Amino acid sequence: MSNKKLSTVSLGTFIGMTIALAASIRNIPDVAAAGWPMFLYMAISTFLFALPICLI
């Protein structure tokens, strides 16, 4: 067995990367059209996407 250290992505980092993907510059017009509820929708979808992956 080799003693290689595996680097892992923490839950916070993974959620941050997912939010960055969902809230990219291209999506700003959609966010502006939907208003403040869009931030809640993005947070819920990020949580529902990240939770099952983090539990693997």
Q: What's residue 2's pLDDT?
A: 63
**Digit-coded pLDDT (tens) for 1-56:** 567 776 777 878 877 887 777 667 777 777 778 788 887 887 888 788 777 777 77
* Rounded (5°) CA angle 14-15-19: 120
pLDDT, position 1: 53
pLDDT at residue 17, as a whole number: 80
CA distance 15 to 37: 19
pTM summary value: 0.45
